[in-house]
Amino acid sequence: MCYFEQTRWPCGYWKWGNFREQCEKEYRTGETCGLKLVYSWQPAQGMCKICEQKCKKERRIYKMMNDISRWQREGNRRATIEKTMQDVNDIQCQINELLATHVERERTL
């Protein structure tokens, strides 16, 4: 077991930081035994990278939905609307994947 620093975000996401202390089992210099333990942790400011990406994608969806309702009012834009709906679906799938990664990370703390 080797000790590492850890960074934690308010949302529950975390990542490993610098290596701090080697365990007795591991004698190779500069190597770690693979089992990481928390040495100490620091709170991170703002959003984690996953929440940031999720936010950006949600803003894109919001904008696309606005476009769609404008096109629906204007009429005659059926193909564009269908294409954009497809994009909205794709981005929604990406958001779901991000959320799953986030939840997975929160669980493994």
- 3 state SS of 10: coil
Shortest approach of Zn ion to residue 94 CB, angstroms?
15
| Longest CA pairwise span in the chain (Å) | 72
Q: Is 51 in the site for Zn ion (CB under 5 A)?
A: yes
Rounded to a whole number of angstroms, the distance between the first and last alpha carbons of the chain is 16
**Closer to Zn ion by Cβ: residue 11 or 64:** 11
Residue 27 to residues 35, 36, 63, 71: CA-CA distances in angstroms?
Answer: 14, 16, 56, 66
Q: Is 4 in the site for Zn ion (CB under 5 A)?
A: no
Shortest approach of Zn ion to residue 35 CB, angstroms?
25
Q: Which of 4, 6, 14, 48 binds Zn ion (CB under 5 A)?
A: 48
| Size of interface with Zn ion, in residues (CB under 5 A) | 5
Residue 51, C-beta contacts closer than 8 angstroms, at least 6 positions apart: 9, 11, 13, 102
Q: Is 13 in the site for Zn ion (CB under 5 A)?
A: yes
Which residues contact Zn ion (rule: CB under 5 A)?
Answer: 11, 13, 48, 50-51
